[in-house]
Amino acid sequence: MLSRQLEPELMDDPQEAIVYDEMDHSEVNRRFVDDLLAGGEIGYDILDLGTGTARIPIELCQRVSNCRVLASDGALSMLDVARYNISVNSMDYRIQLHLADAKSLPIDDASFDTIISNSLIHHVPEPEMVIAQIARLIRPDGRIFVRDLYRPDSQAEIDELVTRVAGHEPADAQAMFRNSLHAALTLDEIRAMVTDRGYSADDVQMTSDRHWTWQSRTNPPAA
């Protein structure tokens, strides 16, 4: 099994942020929102951790009229691009940008109906600290929907994924994806972190050939 190889925690280079935003994430983002909404009500107050250039909050707000999103990221360069994307899509009044470290958020406990995150966990050297923040900030009847990359068992599997998924992208984008796969968690690793916070290991499942998803309700509805 491949060991985890960390990549820089923050993508805070302006050119790197532009390259990331220009990669075609549209299908992945649509599926993320599809799967989130298929799981039930999301409430009004949403936190998006590691929002990047805010493509997912924009997609969500275009499809759900009665929610607002705090779009948080630790990289100012990402949020600069996000600000432009939000303005172009006329979402300034529904999406608020928030510069902060996801491992230590200056936000009151139990502040959100739903917490979402896509592809943040693999950037963080201590992902268990982000899991702890999510558990602290979600409301008692809230929803958690976190998705990230899965670290394959072998270099050959990584090479195949990069070719198949990002083979049409520029070389720097392919390198970015390859590094992310090396930095990602295995299913067992993320399940251990989730169970440490009192959630079920079964709440984390593989949901594509390269993604795991953690879905929990902090107070599941009665049967």
- Per-residue pLDDT tens over the stretch 31-49: 999 999 999 999 999 999 9
CATH number at residue 68: 3.40.50.150
d(C-alpha 184, C-alpha 151), whole Å: 5
**Is 69 within the bounds of a domain?**
yes
Reported as half-sphere exposure (CB side, CA atoms, 13 A), residue 145 has a value of 23
pLDDT digits (tens, 9 = 90+) for 90-115: 999 999 999 999 999 999 999 999 99
pLDDT, mean of residues 72-77 = 94
Mean pLDDT of the chain: 92
In a domain, 67, yes or no: yes
Q: Is the pLDDT of residue 13 over 80?
A: no
- Percent of the chain clearing pLDDT 90 (strictly above): 80
Question: If 0-12 CB within 10 Å is exposed, 13-18 middle and 19+ buried, where does residue 53 land?
Answer: buried
Asked, for residue 91, whether it belongs to a domain, the answer is: yes
In a domain? residue 125: yes
Report the candidate in 44, 61, 50 with the shortest Cα–Cα distance to residue 17.
Answer: 50
Q: What is the mean pLDDT of residues 146-172?
A: 93
The more confident residue out of 28 and 25 is 28
Q: Quote the pLDDT of residue 24.
A: 63
Q: What DSSP letter does each residue of 149-166 carry, written as one string? A: EB--SSHHHHHHHHHHHH
Query: What is the per-residue pLDDT for 8?
Result: 77
The pLDDT assigned to 223 comes to 42
CA angle 122, 103, 64 (to 5 degrees): 75
Beta bridge partners of 49: 72, 117
136, burial (CB in 10 Å: exposed 0-12, middle 13-18, buried 19+): middle
Whether residue 7 lies inside any domain: the answer is: no
What is the pLDDT at residue 27?
A: 86
Q: Rounded to an integer, what distance in angstroms lies between the CA atom of residue 223 and that of residue 215? A: 18
pLDDT (average), residues 39-68: 96
The confidence score (pLDDT) of residue 219 equals 65
Asked, for residue 132, whether it belongs to a domain, the answer is yes
In a domain, 8, yes or no: no
Structural domains counted in the chain: 1
Task: Kindly indicate the confidence band of residue 7, based on its pLDDT and cuts at 50, 70 and 90.
Answer: confident
Q: How far from the centroid of its chain's Cα atoms is residue 177's Cα?
A: 15
pTM assigned to the model: 0.92
Q: Is residue 222 part of a domain?
A: no
CA 32/CA 146 separation, integer angstroms: 9
Cα separation, 61 vs 72, in Å, equals 15
d(CA 13, CA 75): 8
- Enter the tokens of residue 45: 């107050």
Q: Encoding tokens for residue 167?
A: 């083979």
pLDDT in tens, 162-191: 999 888 888 888 888 999 999 999 999 999
Question: What is the span of the domain harbouring residue 79?
Answer: 14-217
